[in-house]
A = this chain, B = another copy of it.
Amino acid sequence: MADLDNALPWLDALKWDADGMIPAIAQDEAGRIVMFAWMNRESLLETVRCGNAVYWSRSRRRLWRKGEESGHWQRIRSIRTDCDGDVLLLEVEQVGGIACHTGRESCFFNELQGERWVPVDPVLKDPKDIYQ
């Protein structure tokens, strides 16, 4: 594990995986982890340029401007990377207080209880009312 070489230009200092991707964790200002997604160089550059989180959708193979359909944008407060530069941590303001397509605050709403995953967080808004 080689540490981040911050003598390199900032994009080159990051360790992109074999597919040119890096994982990105989005955390809101209250400390809640609201989402996890992937970025490529283009999406990270666009995130920095426009100030809202832009991911790379691996399923749709295109830039994914988080909030483009739901209005639930993520405004960037800060961007960090870890010791070896292969993960990003975005501090975001989660517009609307909902990050998940299920209408919950966070995508991480399933808790392991014994041998079952149990949804433990409330749905704040019906997805039918989010995606019209």
Number of copies of chain A assembled together = 2
Q: What residues of B have a CB within 8 angstroms of the CB of A59 in the complex?
A: 1
Bound together, the chains give a CA A87 to CA B59 distance in angstroms of: 16
Asked if A81 contacts B102 (CB within 8 A), the reply is no
The closest CB in chain B to the CB of A10 belongs to B115
Q: How many residues of A contact B (CB 8 A)?
A: 43
A63 within 8 A of B: no
- A82, B116: Cβ atoms under 8 Å? no
- Docked-complex contact A109 and B85, CB < 8 angstroms: no
Q: Mark A1-31, 1 if CB is under 8 A from B, else 0.
A: 1011010011001000000000101010011
Q: Is the CB of A107 within 8 A of B79?
A: no
The residues of B that contact A78 with a CB separation of less than 8 Å are 111-112
Contacting A101 at CB < 8 Å: which of B4, B83, B110? B83
Tell me the A residues contacting B by CB distance below 8 Å: 1, 3-4, 6, 9-10, 13, 23, 25, 27, 30-33, 35-36, 48, 59, 78-85, 87, 89, 100-102, 104, 107-112, 115-119
